[in-house]
Structure 1
């Protein structure tokens, strides 16, 4: 015969099996002690990483204005906006096997349609030959409509200016957020060298020098378009090529150097879309990882296609590094090394984050805007940092409760409702003040 306590334990097991148990949430101990001692307020907790609206430095804005003096600014802004929209909606290039398969499917579909409408058995050889030509033409037309026609972008001097006006404020704000997180969470990191694959107009060097200018003594910028390199160099010289740079040892290249030199920060931002195949991307990623001696930062559009590229790169590096046996960890945004739980859901929703930025003060385009991006940061070496859950969607703030949707150390998506009555005051306030992309210093059991 079961005792009363045994009955209670048995009931709890049955109940927890049938109904999902609510998680027990508590503040991380050091954070709890700091808040209790009044060293900072809940809205300033250590997991707060998101910054406000980010603007380009005034020196860069002045250089941009000088670079555009010989061109119609209104037309450049309009074309830059079109280019930005195109890049935000870009798709991953199909592999050859996938492309061949889709073409065969289109041809089969058109052929079946034709046979349903006409009796091919009664046709003469000439009619059949003509029908085959019609089917082939219709198949090509259907394929062009249904298959994404990827091609690499060719940047000349004018198109580089379009990119500058249409994209640079948004890209700068994204990279500033990522580098600021590295600086805040790794206070002892003092980079001495930086390499940027697909450097474009130079947003990477603007951001990294804005934070570690006193430490970095070597910058290597790589872009296949010579016009991009020329524009990037001009902007670093204040918009005039005869002026001196205020940065030391800046080198421009069109291809990744074959040397085995190591760099403290290796960046590839918005460049993976320019590579034509999975193998090409893998080769570049392997090369970048071999050049990394600190942080490897990969950034893409916050679209589902951009997220898939980041997840492909993340998984490739996880497999490669695990096989090598070297010390490493994912620094951000993932608090785990498992497969992305968003990918497991297979609902077409990307893991992305949002950055707020001020547009260039040209015409009527000085207002604030938002930009979605997906990224991953790998760090060479082990870490002793606690892996806090990261908010992967905006916090839903209501009158007496807040809903936080997070990615946890177990590689799972978890939604927790924090209330003023059921949770301690500081925990509730920390959750309520946290934003999309922040870490929440809590323990979930």
Structure 2
């Protein structure tokens, strides 16, 4: 008898808090407002299991092709790179913590502010005499400003890939990059099963993992894979991987071409254009924007951008999103509009980029890494991605995206959602308020899936009336008996 009473007391304290009042976290929880209930009688699920509802997009675990694993192992074993494990760890940490290159205008602004601050300290300005410094004092002040800027500014450097660094990159990033791109391709194939690309452009192709992933999804229709990378050693390494680790063996699948530059003609377009972990290799915001415009001009179907799941990676993707949606391209070769296919369910500013507390919009993907001694059986890649599509996106369901792990509790589920009205909601789904089918769909969903709910057309989204969303009351939050 004591055990059930103690369990009930724990549940009571979890909801009401340690002092008998409502838990402070409950004040930020809202019920999904004005959501249509769904059930199997409406044929919404098509009589499929709830764990396979239409919003499910996650992959359990990505497995690299056996031929690619064998080729990567062969190349690494033949190279005999000294201290490979330590170099892999160092390169992985460096790439994850890498930031965007500082802009010259921002550095100039910081330098002027710092110069004014230091000048005021050396000789404060008065009404009678302005703070005029001698030439020697001015030079000393400039030296102090430059020293301060060097200490506080991120020192971005372009990566110079050599044969040895390329092999370290294969051991460090081949599997994780393959997993992230596979997750993005899986969403396209799941939501648009009729999409059958014939041509692929991979900008910043590196090890060629994008071509391997695309071949696994659309190998029956793809006839041309164009890999573009400015580093000649990486192109040679990707070609050797394609040949099974040998220079004389035939390619494991045909139609792959390697180049150091993008095609010049604007009329050359590709069904699928991809840039994975490449935007941060460009030295300025202007070059990133121009590159994104060029890639969009060459897109006939989908443009897929993937970056690290950090604040920097997410913000670079939002820059690219604004560049394409802004429509400021002076050269228009395709009148079709840009449509955000994933992960955003809207074209509004990202709600996670609040000035007070910007957060990255990222998603996890588990995978089986290359079988090196230092790798565990499974690893997780945390990445950010953006998929843009040609056309208005007619017929797309604006279902909200789950942006954090789903938290299951007795008879209710907590979901963090990015909604079609551009807001973030911490929603609680229960069978009493939302129906058994929607509740089970939410309970069996994962981080990165879409929750199949929508606000009926013509009704204002929550918060538009100036009132805060209603908090969870005891009727909806206390577990049902």
Is this a same-fold pair by TM over 0.5? Answer: yes
Q: Flag the 1:297–1:29 CA change in 2: closer, same or farther, 3 A.
A: farther
Alignment: residue pair count: 416
2:79 aligned residue (55, 58, 71): 71
Q: Flag the 1:148–1:431 CA change in 2: closer, same or farther, 3 A.
A: same
Deviation at 1:106, TM superposition (A): 3.6
1:375 aligned residue (385, 388, 396): 385
1:61 aligned residue (59, 69, 72): 69
Does 2:153 correspond to 1:142?
no
Q: Which moved more, 1:252-261 or 1:313-322?
A: 313-322
SS in 1 for 2:437: helix
Does 2:314 correspond to 1:304?
no
Q: Flag the 1:194–1:240 CA change in 2: closer, same or farther, 3 A.
A: same
* Partner Cα separation in structure 1 for residue 344 and residue 41 of structure 2: 21
* Partner Cα separation in structure 1 for residue 81 and residue 365 of structure 2: 25
2:339 aligned residue (315, 325, 329): 329
Show the counterpart of 1:6: none
Show the counterpart of 1:8: none
* Partner Cα separation in structure 2 for residue 31 and residue 296 of structure 1: 37
Show the counterpart of 2:413: 402
The 5 A counterparts of 1:10-409 are 23-27=33-37, 32-35=42-45, 39-72=47-80, 75-114=83-122, 131-259=137-265, 260-320=267-327, 326-344=336-354, 346-382=356-392, 383-409=394-420
Note if contact 1:27-1:443 (Cα within 8 Å) is conserved in structure 2. no
* Partner Cα separation in structure 1 for residue 173 and residue 324 of structure 2: 28
Show the counterpart of 1:14: none
Note if contact 1:49-1:438 (Cα within 8 Å) is conserved in structure 2. yes
Note if contact 1:31-1:45 (Cα within 8 Å) is conserved in structure 2. no
Note if contact 1:102-1:147 (Cα within 8 Å) is conserved in structure 2. no
Q: TM-score, normalised by structure 1?
A: 0.87
SS in 2 for 1:273: helix
* Partner Cα separation in structure 2 for residue 93 and residue 73 of structure 1: 30
Note if contact 2:337-2:391 (Cα within 8 Å) is conserved in structure 1. yes
1:238-262 Cα shifts (integer Å, max 9, x gaps): 0001000022221111111102211
Q: Flag the 1:262–1:322 CA change in 2: closer, same or farther, 3 A.
A: closer
* Partner Cα separation in structure 2 for residue 194 and residue 149 of structure 1: 34
Q: Which structure carries more helix by proportion?
A: 1
2:432 aligned residue (418, 421, 430): 421
* Partner Cα separation in structure 1 for residue 42 and residue 94 of structure 2: 47
Q: Which moved more, 1:417-426 or 1:397-406?
A: 417-426
SS in 2 for 1:247: coil
* Partner Cα separation in structure 2 for residue 140 and residue 223 of structure 1: 35
RMSD: 2.5
Q: Flag the 1:134–1:201 CA change in 2: closer, same or farther, 3 A.
A: same
Q: Flag the 1:20–1:330 CA change in 2: closer, same or farther, 3 A.
A: closer
Q: Which moved more, 1:105-114 or 1:244-253?
A: 105-114
Q: Which runs of 5+ in 1 are unaligned?
A: 1-18
Deviation at 1:370, TM superposition (A): 1.9
Q: Flag the 1:108–1:370 CA change in 2: closer, same or farther, 3 A.
A: farther
Show the counterpart of 1:12: none
* Partner Cα separation in structure 2 for residue 333 and residue 93 of structure 1: 26
Deviation at 1:335, TM superposition (A): 1.1
1:58-80 Cα shifts (integer Å, max 9, x gaps): 11111011111233467223212
SS in 2 for 1:298: strand
Note if contact 2:204-2:229 (Cα within 8 Å) is conserved in structure 1. yes
Deviation at 1:210, TM superposition (A): 1.0
Deviation at 1:320, TM superposition (A): 1.1
Q: TM-score, normalised by structure 2?
A: 0.81
